[in-house]
Structure 1
Amino acid sequence: MKNLSSQAHVKGHLPVLLPVRRVMLSDLPLQDRLFNVWTGSALLLAFLAVAVGPSYAQADTAQTRSIVAILLEWTPSLAKAFGFNVLISIFAMAIGTVLGVGLGVLQVSPLPAIRRSAWLVTQFFRNSPWLVLLFYCILLIPFKISVFGVTVPFPGWIKAVIGLSLPVMAYMSEFMRGAILSIPTGQWESATSLGFSRGQTMREIILPQTVKRVLPPWMNLYAVLTMATPLVSIVGVNEVMSMTRAALSAEGRVDLLIPMYLYILCWFFIYCYPISALTSRLERRFAVKL
């Protein structure tokens, strides 16, 4: 501080602020880490008490079954419906990933027409609301498709998978484009000097190196997709939110509203938080050291 203040009065010298170092939880002392854990736990318990407390009070005055008993009774049905949400997210992520990888490769094509067309498709679906895409897929795709005289049913959940896979495709395309362009150009030149074609260079040299660059945002996108799956209930697909509304309607209790939705929220948190934590760990592991 003494050197900084003395230099500030010298003509031509200005004080310079160094960049702030990002402090991770693992860098903190043990006492500070325990304090953060206990503080977070206390805040979570306080939130649960504020959310569920009034409901318990109403349940006691009505002299009906406890909220915990009702939640446990509906848990098997809710768990089955939540598994359907996970299944939709897995299928949508798989389809979107496959299409997005191909679209991302086309975005770096040497042919201008293909490159611009791939860019236009990517930007269109990337900047479209997910719910609007779901409505279009539900309304435009027929419920039955006849192929060579054979009628194949097309249920609503498959349409929802297609609707959710379109924005995933667009984001995955951008991930791939950025990952491919991040590879040093010297590797392209070295592959060309060794007689590799562009396709061989892409398949055998470039794409394998994009895996570690794409993996962390890909996992983060899957967590976001899973949290977006309740949108399919709006278009008539029976999943965990639809089952929750059915449970509330069957019980007919106003005091069950907050605990029931809080119960489902905890399920999504328990499923998505480990994915987010693993994503942060992979980002630190694959980070480029400058």
Structure 2
Amino acid sequence: MTRPSPTNLPVLLPFRSAAVEPPRLGPLHIVLIVAALSGLALGAAQAQVATAAPLSPLAVVIKWTPLLLTGFAFNLLISFAAMLIGTVAGFGLGLAQLGRTAIIRKVAWVLTQFFRNAPWLVLLFFAMFLIPFQVRIGGVTIPLPDWLKAIIGFSLPVMANVSEIVRGAVRSVPTTQWESADSLAFTPRQTIWMIILPQCIKRMLPPWMNVYSLVTMATVQASIVGVTEMLTLTAQVHAAEGGRPELFAPLYGFALLCFFVYCYPIDLMTSRLERRFQVR
């Protein structure tokens, strides 16, 4: 009996467990995981918002009062600047209506009547779209922002109303004042500046204050042409609070209250000056 040679013997190799590789994540798996996590986060945020009680209308107004008062201050700035420019221009236009040259009187009268009887909002739109966004003087470019155009737009009706105030006040001075100045050898310029206009101040001040009150209330129209003032900020606050219907009246009522508190004392002061000066 022959024995198998060592080279022909079967060899039993030792057992080796195959290494287990971790599963690989494909793009689709990553997308699904991110979507699941996002859904969980969104659900948690919605649950938190749902459980949080919304602020009361009074709390919302108190919360945003500093911002809204900043917009109101900008309304006052526009009214101050428009009144200053309009008063200076209107004073000259009113004196031009009383000039001795017929052509100057007619041109001044036409300008006064045109801007005095034109809608303020239409004049504001004309100022916005006809005035360029910037002007170039030499090599310097000067920008003209929207709020500056709004000031110019509001100063036009102020100019016309002040012109009519000046003309009416000068005409209301008795003719004996002119005759007395003429008998004292005053020149027409001296008569106007030294005798007539000082007497016209008490006649011009009450209607001038009424015009200022009107232009202050009209500055809210600047929000229509994109100027960020109180009414614009009120709309933005309303949108930031989710556009809740119950906030509409408190927010816009606060804007109404600010203008009333500012303008009503001007009206009372105007009436007091009229009684004091006995202006009729």
Corresponding residue number in structure 1 for 2:115: 125
Unpaired runs of 5+ residues, structure 1, are 1-61
TM-score w.r.t. structure 2 length? 0.79
Unaligned 5+ segments in structure 2 are 1-51
Matched residue type, 1:275: I
1:1-290 counterparts in 2 under 5 A?
Answer: 63-252=53-242, 253-288=244-279
Deviating above 2 A after TM superposition, structure 1's stretches of 4 or more consecutive aligned residues are none
Q: Which residue pairs with 2:46 in the alignment?
A: none
Which protein is bigger by CA-based radius of gyration? Answer: 2
Cα deviation, 1:53-90, whole Å, max 9, x if unaligned, reads xxxxxxxxx94211111111100100111000000000
- Give the whole-Å Cα distance in 2 for the aligned partners of 1:190 and 1:64: 74
Range with greater deviation from structure 2 (194-203 or 231-240): 194-203
Letter in 2 for 1:98: V
* Contact map agreement 2:112 2:164 (CA 8 A) in 1: yes
SS at match of 1:213: helix
1:143 partner amino acid: F
Partners of 2:268 and 2:216 lie apart in 1 by 15
Structure 2 Cα separation of the partners of residues 221 and 255 of structure 1: 35
Q: Percent identity?
A: 56
The CA distance in 2 between the partners of 1:127 and 1:94, in whole Å, is 20
Corresponding residue number in structure 1 for 2:42 = none
CA distance in structure 1 between the partners assigned to 2:192 and 2:55 by the alignment? 63
Deviations 1:126-148 (A, max 9, x none): 01000010001000111111111
Higher mean alpha-carbon deviation, 184-193 vs 228-237, is at 184-193
Q: Distance in 2 between matches of 1:115 and 1:261?
A: 45
2:203, 2:279 within 8 Å by CA — same for their partners in 1?
Answer: no
Partner SS, residue 145 of structure 1: strand
Q: What is the letter of the counterpart of residue 105 of structure 2? A: R
Match in the other structure for 1:52? none
Q: How many residues align?
A: 228
Residue of structure 1 equivalent to 2:12: none
Question: In structure 2, what is the Cα distance between the partners aligned to 1:288 and 1:257?
Answer: 42
Amino acid in structure 1 at the alignment position of 2:247: L
> Aligned partners of 2:95 and 2:169: how far apart in 1?
10
Deviations 1:200-255 (A, max 9, x none): 11111111111100000111111111110000010110000000000001001111
Q: Distance in 1 between matches of 2:199 and 2:96?
A: 17
